[in-house]
């Protein structure tokens, strides 16, 4: 018969709120390996995968928020921090770990500024992913070994931070502005009033710290992560 002391010393594990994880990567073998890793070290019962950002956003739109997302930076339909920023807007309370073979300090720093809860090099062993997940569950940000913390914020980090502050609607309007569309066209595309578009544009420029639509476009283009990424993944 189990004693009362043993019962109290070994409580049942607390179930996760939403017991699934999402892996976003266009390399099937890496997705398979991460699925096994997450089921092993974090006890996820369900791991869903997507090979592009749009596929990931569709999964998030049709399911309860996952407990964790692991995201590659280079995907067929997006390159760099733009994908992380869009994904965080869709599931803002879900921690996102970036898993990438690109481990420059500037890349890691930019990812953290954009809202990543951690950064794990792709070549890391299973134990590192376990450590990262445990650290994130404790409310900390996981940074890989060898990462050197910078004492100053770069202009690029500041730009990413400003873009991350945009709402989903504001981000969509900025995308349309970058496509060269006028307020009237944007209002038609989004089925909203032109006065609403104008209000959003004003808010966008305020958040980005610019005075014109042209400057807003330049800020958005500057944040396209390709400018700081080495060629190839």
The CATH number of whichever domain residue 176 belongs to comes to: 1.10.10.10
Residue 74 sits in the same domain as residue 110? yes
Residue 39 sits in the same domain as residue 109? yes
What is the domain extent for residue 94?
A: 4-137
Residue 12 sits in the same domain as residue 84? yes
Residue 131 sits in the same domain as residue 174? no
Residue 133 sits in the same domain as residue 21? yes
The answer to the question of residue 15 being in a domain is yes
Residue 123 sits in the same domain as residue 9? yes
Residue 120 sits in the same domain as residue 15? yes
Domain boundary among 137, 152, 186: 137
Digit-by-digit pLDDT tens for the chain (233 residues) are 444 444 444 444 444 444 899 999 999 999 999 999 999 998 898 999 999 999 999 999 999 999 999 999 889 888 768 888 888 888 888 999 999 988 888 888 888 988 899 999 998 999 999 999 999 999 999 999 888 876 555 666 777 778 888 888 888 899 899 889 999 999 999 999 999 999 999 999 999 889 999 988 888 877 664 333 333 33
pLDDT of residue 85: 86
Residue 115 sits in the same domain as residue 173? no
Residue 139, φ and ψ in degrees, nearest 5: 85, 15
The answer to the question of residue 80 being in a domain is yes
Tell me the pairing of strands 74-75 and 20-24: unpaired
The answer to the question of residue 223 being in a domain is yes
Which CATH number fits the domain that encloses residue 42?
3.40.50.2300
The answer to the question of residue 119 being in a domain is yes
pLDDT of residue 154: 64
pLDDT of residue 92: 82
Q: Which two tokens stand for residue 30?
A: 């890496």
Please tell me whether the overall predicted TM-score, pTM, comes out greater than 0.75 for this model. Answer: no
The answer to the question of residue 92 being in a domain is yes
The answer to the question of residue 133 being in a domain is yes
> Which tens digits make up the pLDDT trace of 179-225?
899 999 999 999 999 999 999 999 999 998 899 999 888 888 776 64
Residue 47 sits in the same domain as residue 104? yes
* Domain count for the chain: 2
- 225-229's contacts with Cβ under 8 Å and 24+ in sequence apart are 225/73, 225/79, 225/80, 225/81, 225/82, 225/107, 225/110, 226/79, 226/80, 227/156, 228/104, 228/106, 228/107, 228/110, 228/156, 229/73, 229/74, 229/79, 229/80, 229/102, 229/107
Residue 15 sits in the same domain as residue 129? yes
Domain boundary among 137, 153, 181: 137
pLDDT of residue 1: 46
């Amino acid at each position: 018969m189990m004693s009362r002391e043993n019962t109290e010393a070994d409580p049942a594990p607390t179930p996760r709120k939403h017991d699934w994880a999402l892996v976003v990567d266009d390399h099937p073998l890496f997705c398979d390996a991460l699925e096994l890793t997450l089921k092993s070290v974090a006890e996820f019962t369900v791991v869903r995968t997507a090979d592009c950002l749009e596929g990931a956003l569709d999964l998030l739109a049709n399911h309860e928020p996952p407990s964790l997302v692991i995201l590659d930076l280079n995907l067929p339909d997006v390159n760099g921090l733009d994908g992380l920023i869009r994904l965080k807007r869709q599931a803002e309370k879900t921690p996102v770990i970036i898993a990438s073979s690109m481990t420059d300090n500037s890349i890691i720093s930019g990812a953290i500024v954009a809202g990543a809860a951690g950064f794990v090099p792709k070549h890391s062993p299973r134990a590192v992913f376990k450590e990262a997940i445990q650290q994130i569950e404790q409310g900390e940000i996981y940074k890989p070994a060898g990462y050197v913390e910078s004492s100053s914020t770069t202009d690029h980090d500041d730009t990413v931070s400003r873009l991350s502050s945009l709402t989903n609607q504001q981000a969509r309007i900025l995308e349309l502005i970058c496509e060269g569309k006028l307020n009237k066209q944007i209002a038609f595309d989004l089925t909203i009033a032109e006065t609403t578009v104008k209000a959003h544009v004003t808010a966008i420029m305020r958040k980005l710290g610019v005075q014109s639509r042209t400057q807003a476009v330049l800020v958005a283009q500057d944040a396209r992560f390709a400018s700081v990424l080495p060629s190839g993944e």
